[in-house]
Amino acid sequence: MRTDTGQVFKLEDYRPNDYLIPRTNLTFRLSPEATIVTAILTVERRDGVAAAAPLVLDGDGLTLKRVEIDGKKAKPADLLVTPDQLTILKPPARRFQLLIETELAPAGNEALMGLYRSNDVYCTQCEAEGFRRITYFLDRPDILSVYTVRIEALRDEAPLLLSNGNPGDKGNIRDGWHYAVWHDPFPKPSYLFALVAGNLGRVADSFVTMSGRKVELGIYVERGKEKLAGYAMDALKRSMRWDEEAFGREYDLDVFNIVAVSDFNMGAMENKGLNIFNDKYVLADEETATDADFANIEAIIAHEYFHNWTGNRITCRDWFQLCLKEGLTVFRDHEFSADQRSRAVKRIAEVRTLRAHQFPEDQGPLAHPVRPRRYREINNFYTATVYEKGSEVVRMIRTILGADAFRAGMDLYFERHDGEAATIEDFIKVFEDASGRDLSQFALWYHQAGTPNLTVSSTHNQSAREFTLEIEQSVPPTPSESRKRLMHIPLAFGLIGAGGKPVAYSGVEGASVEDGVIHLRKRRHMVRFSGVIERPAVSLNRGFSAPVTLSVEQKADDQFFLARHDSDAFSRWQAFNTLLTDALIAAFREFLGGRQPVFATRLTELAGSIAGDETLEPAYRALALALPGDADIARDIGKNIDPDAIHAARQGFALAIATTNAEAFSSLYHRLADKAAFSPDAASAGRRALRNILLDYLSLLQGGAALAARHFQSATNMTDRAAALAVLAHRHHASPEANKALAAFEKTYASDPLVMDKWFQIQASVPGPQAVDTVRALTAHPAFSMANPNRVRSLIGTFSSANQTGFHRADGEGYRFFAQTVLEVEKRNPQVAARLATALRSWRSLEPGRQAKAREALLSIANAENLSADLRDIVERTLA
């Protein structure tokens, strides 16, 4: 574990390395305690580099066994060797061969970076800087190399030997050993290297590309779980076809393999031709996976496959350009899911995720631009800003240019930069060249941190038939950026009249308006629409055209009108969600003042009206009925947060909605009972989602516990079973019905770790002061392990990020337990510990008592001895 705080890497300091490694030959002789890795590197000095320039290779805790240069043993005087660096002081020629032999202990690698062993399976994770834990190398994204890999292992221990590219020679070696050779003809950076060896079951299929090539497909899982990989295979084939149709991208190797492993730091990894997945994003059937699991599998399978072009064939020049592969590929997987499912529902879900994770990041001490300008530990920049906001920036390019010009720009990007390590400037340039548009101001979205706010007011002059929007933009200060430049913000809008019909206008001045989008480029715009006879209701940021916040002077009547009549599905949801949020914030303030809030009947009735509106998709209605979460309300309040008061307001409002609509909700709940065979398709999933949120409301009424218990007992799929268990645990905590259901679930699924994660999650998110003791006790459960990232995220991650009242317990015990646990996890896995620690990023928004206790917990982590670079970076920035 690296405990140094590390240097600060700056974008402005980027320089190409003096050397290239065009070819890399690797031989692995696998052993749990003593794997031997022999790397033979073809090294070339760049033109114009002085002959005396040393070759400095990266390492991380390596044990060096041997170095040869052009077949001769290197002299000790010609080398500088540490576990973290190998320097060839006087490289012999412009081009030479360098042999490096290292010894690894995969079984003892609990950090799960580099080569490690999980459940008797050898596996690698090399992004971002894991390859240097395997051998000394120029471990940076702009060093592209053609890899040939030979893997040797005991056949009984590892009958399956996989690596990147296409399979080559294979055969037996003496004493029960065997080997396999893999060759990847496409140059790639070291972070995309992959190796898997073990005894796994295979699900086989094939795909015929648009040019008629047959590609062999394989998904490898633990033996006995092959039947759980069928949906993942179906999602893969749909992804391959969609990428051909939507972006003209055809797969380029003879094989495409996916391996599912149970110990994995991330969701999945896009290694060329050999994707490695956290098994929770591969394994699914109706008995063990929820509808959300099926949707995640579909999206993540697609995301990693789409990386073949946006990330692999075109990679990023340096880690500052991470959003170039991740933000772009998130955009692509969002579009895929929207086409496979419901575009409106998917868009709402995307925005909810962005607001829940990226907006707080932009508003706190960990804020950074989509393309950071500096970092100390790159593992800490796999963030919602890079992924989710990065995707929104790509979406805005399409909004500004239009679909055709955007596609032309993407085609030019693939043509111009295939086989290269590219930059954000390269990406912006292809769209400028394809469209003839100047995107220099727009590019600030990549370079400037913070969430822009738009303040909007409107007036209607009936006699002049003129409607005016006054719009002002501002970006709040963020760490190291106190002064902000003006952004180019594409604001989609609609003027809505009686019955939801669009209001016509004859002309517009004060801003560029194209295809229903106002292009904001100045601090303040007075946008005047002429020929407007009736005063319209204004629908703003339709489709969430820009990742901004809105402060709109708008009458409640207009919001109610838009919630019923807006033709833009997202904006209709947003209008209703704004009404809910405003009511919850008002109730929060009533509770703080010691008063009992009263909720407007017309709002609770509107909830019932939306629930029963058969013109809306069930999934859409389910999303609309989901009240903003405790953390969402806290984010909108902004400061002096009391989580207990927020939770009380939310509980009171839910009861008011349930009481107003009891009869209608009950009738609809029973009508939605699914009598057909289970299907994970979007329509079926939507009906289950609506029925389960109705159950949540009905559970608050008399007889609610019994209703939820019957729902649990009669459930024929995990979606319904887990939903009922959550309702019992959350709404009827410690009741006989809840205790009985929790025990039954545990007994049924005790041997299935992924399902037990749901059991941990449900209990870790039960609100209230008892949560700390519950979670502490569950860490001793036989199914829990601090060494497994999925278990840690399901229990500790859920408690700290999804249980506002429990985690933020007023006496600070939640913070103290959390700090102790983070330090315990860090001993094994610094990456997971650092990501957990981000749960305290918004500590300054708490009321003073909790704020002081949260700070104490952060300081207790910061002052711990031998803190890893990963965790120290997060904690110091959070405290700064």
Q: So which residues are the catalytic ones?
A: 304
Do the beta carbons of residue 267 and residue 281 sit within 8 Å? yes
In this structure, how many other beta carbons lie within 10 angstroms of the beta carbon of residue 249?
Answer: 22
Alpha helices in 661-787 (DSSP H): 662-671, 682-698, 704-714, 718-731, 736-749, 753-764, 771-778
436: CB partners within 8 A, 6+ apart: none
* Cα distance between residue 280 and residue 287, in whole Å: 14
CA 29 to chain CA centroid, Å, is 35
Q: CA of 685: how far to CAs of 292, 592, 598, 662, 673, in Å?
A: 9, 39, 34, 23, 12
**If you search the block for the tokens 């190797």, which residue do you land on?**
253
3-class DSSP state of 186: strand
Tokens of 147: 């890899």
User: What is the identity of the amino acid at 171?
Assistant: G
Residue pair 516/493 in contact (Cβ under 8 Å)? The answer is: yes
End-to-end alpha-carbon separation of the chain, Å?
A: 24
Q: Which of 419, 398, 425, 420 is nearest to 332 (CA)?
A: 398
Kindly report the number of other CB atoms within 10 A of residue 384's CB atom.
Answer: 20
Beta-carbon count within 10 A of 211 CB: 8
List all residues 6 or more positions away from 597 whose beta carbon is below 8 Å from its beta carbon.
Answer: 586, 587, 590, 591, 649, 652, 653
- Exposure pattern of 166-183 as b/e (b: 16+ CB <10 Å)? ebeeeeeeeeebbbbbbb
Say which amino acid occupies 846.
Answer: L
Find where tokens 């391959």 sit: 240
Is 37 buried (19+), middle (13-18) or exposed (0-12) by CB count in 10 A?
buried
- Residue 198: closest CA among 157, 258, 151: 157
**Collapsing DSSP states into helix, strand and coil, what is residue 219?**
strand
Helix (H, G, I), strand (E, B) or coil at 374: strand
Strand partners, 27: 38, 150
Tokens of 344: 């409106």
Name the token pair of 294.
């099926």
Which token pair is 758?
A: 């749901």
Q: Give 455's strand partners.
A: 472, 551
Q: Which residues contact 62 (CB under 8 A, 6 or more apart)?
A: 83, 84, 102, 104, 132, 133, 135, 136
How far is residue 818's CA from residue 796's CA, in Å, rounded to a whole number? Answer: 8
Q: Please give the Cα distance from 775 to 796 (Å, whole number).
A: 7
What tokens were used for 373? Answer: 């300008």
Peptide bond before residue 128 is cis, with ω within 30 degrees of 0: yes
